[in-house]
Amino acid sequence: MSSRAVKLTGWGRISPSWAELTEPASAADAAALLRDGAARGVIARGLGRSYNDAAQCDGGVVASTARLNRIIELDAAGGRVTCQAGVSLEQLMVAGLPAGWFVPVSPAPGR
């Protein structure tokens, strides 16, 4: 799986660090990445919007979930969704709203 060196931060854009960024496109890719990269350390990264738990892994491997963005099943009657790890809140809302569902927690500006 290809990777590239990138400088990463969290949402606050402080304390940047370098890591090898990879973008697994399947569960099998992600499993292989965890197995092969274990010695260096591998963490997942979503949209990089966390205030505190920034997905950086200085000197290690960061697995972006950007390509794991498929909604597998939406139970419109029960409001349960099965999806891959990189599905965004926007995707969930677009998929769920027509059936009357909204995510229970959504990001909002602080006071």
Q: Which stretch binds ligand FAD (CB under 6 A): 13-21, 40-48, 72-80, 91-99?
A: 40-48
Nearer to ligand FAD, 22 or 65 (CB): 65
Query: b or e along 53-66 (b: 16 or more beta carbons within 10 Å of the residue's beta carbon)?
Result: ebbbbeebbbbbbe
Judged by CB under 6 A, does residue 5 bind ligand FAD?
no
- Among residues 1, 9, 18, 46, the one that binds ligand FAD under rule CB under 6 A: 46
Which has the closest alpha carbon to 64: 15, 13, 2, 16?
Answer: 2
Nearer to ligand FAD, 28 or 108 (CB): 108
| Token pair 């959504």: residue | 106
Judged by CB under 6 A, does residue 103 bind ligand FAD?
no
| Beta carbons of 11 and 50 less than 8 angstroms apart | yes
Rounded Cα gap, residues 11 and 9, in angstroms: 7
Judged by CB under 6 A, does residue 44 bind ligand FAD?
yes
Strand partners, 45: 64
The site that binds ligand FAD (CB under 6 A) totals a number of residues, namely 19
Judged by CB under 6 A, does residue 40 bind ligand FAD?
no
- Catalog residues that contact ligand FAD under the rule CB under 6 A: 10-11, 43-51, 53, 55, 65, 85, 105, 107-109
